[in-house]
Structure 1
Amino acid sequence: MTLPEQTPETAAPVAPALAADPNETRNGVVAALTAYLLWGFLPILFRLLEQAGSVLIVAERTLWSLVLLAVIIAVTRGYAEARAVLSDLRRMRVIALSAVLLVGNWLLYVWAVETGQVLEASFGYFINPLVNVAIGMIFLGERQNRMQTIAIGIAVVAILIQAWGLGKVPFIALGLAFSFGFYGFIRKTAQAGPVTGLFAETVVVAPFALAYVAYDIATRGVGVHADPGMMLLLVLTGPATAIPLLLFAYGVRRLRLTTIGMFQYLAPSIQFLLAITLFGEELNGLRLLSFALIWLSLVVFSWDSFRQRLRATA
């Protein structure tokens, strides 16, 4: 990864930051930090919705995101851009593929929260930037310098130790990291902004989501939909998806990418702390060592990226 990585909801081409202005910079910091804080605490919402089941949560999240994004596009008068994307067959083929990866990422993440595996999920998002580097090396022929290669090597050791500590291959961590890594890789070729792109992705998935909700009600009854509190939480999954995305899009236009890069580990760090405090997940010595190594690899990689950016600026 040569640019700071975003969360699954924000993988899109990033516009260059606006000219430096103290007020704009401050607003950008507040927006970006708020976005990462919201993403970090997202597992709490999914844990409260545990009885709904991961598939229904993702289906409802898709539908309520579509509703909110449609309202946002209407308010911002983004009809022309949305129509241009939806009517472009080439872009929609790319978006359909990215939508499948995104929904797969959502399903795996919600299921991880539901089954008490938030630690492994946070590990996945810690290794995601380095997975992006590997994707760039394999599919784009990008060459890495010695420090970046060392960072990747440390990450591989961390993954092996994590597998040893778990007693199995960390499928959740690897699945989240690679699904989102390929999502970002594919999504960048769709040439759609963050709001319009996510709207198009939810349009692709919405018929399947609606069909599943109808099937769930037909076979299991109204279930959680009859509970006003649960229904409110399901509706909130829409804003929980779209609002951080919009805050991030606002912040990234007003901040240097190096600043965004320092924020990107906030969400998985919060998830890590939630897992061992609020959710009571076990952190044995081997798993702690694996996290220590992945943090070391990220320090090495981030420092190298920062050093290169300073050199380029000079």
Structure 2
Amino acid sequence: MQPDPTETRRGLLLAISAYGLWGIVLPFYMKALDHVSPVEIVAHRIIWALPFAAILLMYQGRFARTVRYLADMRTTALALLTAALISINWGVYVYAIVAGQTVDAALGYYINPLLNVLLAALVLKERPSRLQAIAVGLATVGVAIMTVKAGGLPWISLVLACTFGSYGLVRKMVKVDASEGFFLEVVLLTPFAVAALFIVPVSHFGVIPYETVMLMGAGPLTAVPLILFAAGARLLNFATVGILQYLVPTCLFLIAVFIFGEPFSVWQLVAFAFIWTALGLYTVTLLRQARVERQRRRRRQPSAAQTSAQMDGQAAALDQPPSDQAIR
């Protein structure tokens, strides 16, 4: 079956909107709060995302069903693990923005899809293709260059890639959809977020009105792109989603260098060149997989023309009078 062009356009619009919020709006939003502790920002992201996620589930008529998942120990344990991973990811991301290390955050999200290939090989025993293996090797060289020239591992990049990659891996084991899973995660994280607000040395909430509004707005800004992405991804093929994911680190990189004015050395350029080359090879594998899948679907389903011809032939045979030989 050929994909519906209208649905594909709608999926692209939803996915690009999500990536635009993640890659453009969110870094500027967090930069405007760079005088606020990352712990306080992440805590408010969690707390104010909870009512938004609950209202969405009520609108969809799935709130009661989602709450019942909390009685399932396996679902709750997995959701707690994904919640821990995504909260670490959020915290490190916010720290990178407010500390002027957005380039490292971009690098982390660039190497994330390549790390996914490695995780799939190690955990799921999925054998990578030759091009994928070469891509992972090139990315490793890029990270090694950054490590040697910076005098230490690019920990922000590696933590962002590892936590988000692991989050995606574990998230596949939780048998709930995106909005239900997000609600379970923020429900489980909210007690920790509230406790974190009590240990923040200086609280900015309720002091200056615009800061209070921005901290509250961080919740919906966390939830909306996740929901938009989940809706868009269902309407797009895997290769398209895989290629679109490069929009976020590309936006982060351009904003960091040309707007935030973060330093970008020659050796960083060399390291990024290895990463970008690796991503180019990885993109080739995605496109090949998409082509193979299309060919497999065509073989599995006869074309509409063939089906119509077969039906016409059967109808014509039924309309023919019996032959003399048949009568005899």
Name the TM-score, length of structure 2 as normaliser: 0.86
Residue among 264, 273, 280 paired with 1:283: 264
- What residue is the counterpart of 1:145 in the other structure? 129
Distance 1:110 1:136 in 2: 27
- What residue is the counterpart of 1:13 in the other structure? none
Residue among 279, 292, 297 paired with 2:278: 297
2:173 paired with 1:192: no
- What residue is the counterpart of 1:122 in the other structure? 106
**Superimposed CA distance per residue, residues 137-181 of structure 1 (whole angstroms, 9 cap, x where no aligned partner):** 111222112111111110100111122332321011011101111
**Superimposed CA distance per residue, residues 88-119 of structure 1 (whole angstroms, 9 cap, x where no aligned partner):** 11110111111111111111111111111000
**Superimposed CA distance per residue, residues 250-290 of structure 1 (whole angstroms, 9 cap, x where no aligned partner):** 21122222222221100110000011011111111110111
1:215 to partner: Cα distance: 4.1
Indicate conservation of the 8 Å contact 1:165/1:284, yes or no.
no
Distance 2:294 2:7 in 1: 21
Distance 1:280 1:212 in 2: 32
Residue among 64, 67, 86 paired with 2:48: 64
User: Which amino acid in structure 2 is aligned with residue 182 of structure 1?
Assistant: S
Tell me: higher relative CO, structure 1 or 2? Use CA pairs within 8 A at least 6 residues apart. 1
Indicate conservation of the 8 Å contact 1:52/1:224, yes or no.
no
User: Which amino acid in structure 1 is aligned with residue 41 of structure 2?
Assistant: I
Tell me whether 110-119 or 71-80 shows the greater mean CA deviation.
71-80
1:305 to partner: Cα distance: 2.2
Distance 1:166 1:120 in 2: 11
- What residue is the counterpart of 1:7 in the other structure? none
- What residue is the counterpart of 2:10 in the other structure? 27
Distance 1:114 1:234 in 2: 14
Residue among 49, 73, 89 paired with 1:105: 89
- What residue is the counterpart of 1:308 in the other structure? 289
Question: Which stretches in structure 1 are left out of the alignment for 5+ residues?
Answer: 1-17
What's the C-alpha RMSD, in Å, of the aligned pairs?
1.5
Indicate conservation of the 8 Å contact 2:54/2:63, yes or no.
no
Residue among 206, 211, 218 paired with 1:230: 211
Indicate conservation of the 8 Å contact 2:106/2:250, yes or no.
yes
User: Which amino acid in structure 2 is aligned with residue 69 of structure 1?
Assistant: A
- What residue is the counterpart of 1:9 in the other structure? none
1:84 to partner: Cα distance: 3.1
Name the TM-score, length of structure 1 as normaliser: 0.90
- What residue is the counterpart of 1:90 in the other structure? 74
Indicate conservation of the 8 Å contact 1:164/1:286, yes or no.
no
Question: Which stretches in structure 2 are left out of the alignment for 5+ residues?
Answer: 296-328
1:81 to partner: Cα distance: 3.0
Indicate conservation of the 8 Å contact 1:81/1:196, yes or no.
no
Residue aligned with 1:279, SS? coil
User: Which amino acid in structure 2 is aligned with residue 230 of structure 1?
Assistant: E
Residue aligned with 1:91, SS? helix
Indicate conservation of the 8 Å contact 2:27/2:97, yes or no.
yes
Distance 2:10 2:208 in 1: 38
- What residue is the counterpart of 1:259 in the other structure? 240
User: Which amino acid in structure 2 is aligned with residue 129 of structure 1?
Assistant: P
- What residue is the counterpart of 1:5 in the other structure? none
Alignment of 1:71-82 (within 5 A): 71-82=55-66
Distance 2:205 2:68 in 1: 37
Residue aligned with 1:226, SS? coil
User: Which amino acid in structure 1 is aligned with residue 246 of structure 2?
Assistant: Y
Indicate conservation of the 8 Å contact 2:238/2:290, yes or no.
no
Higher-Rg member (1/2): 2
Alignment of 1:194-213 (within 5 A): 194-213=178-197
Residue aligned with 1:50, SS? coil
Closer, same or farther in 2 for the Cα pair 1:79/1:223, shift >3 Å? closer
2:159 paired with 1:175: yes
Tell me whether 256-265 or 35-44 shows the greater mean CA deviation.
256-265
User: Which amino acid in structure 1 is aligned with residue 143 of structure 2?
Assistant: I
- What residue is the counterpart of 2:322 in the other structure? none
- What residue is the counterpart of 1:12 in the other structure? none
2:22 paired with 1:39: yes
Closer, same or farther in 2 for the Cα pair 1:305/1:23, shift >3 Å? closer
Residue aligned with 2:125, SS? coil
Distance 2:211 2:21 in 1: 20
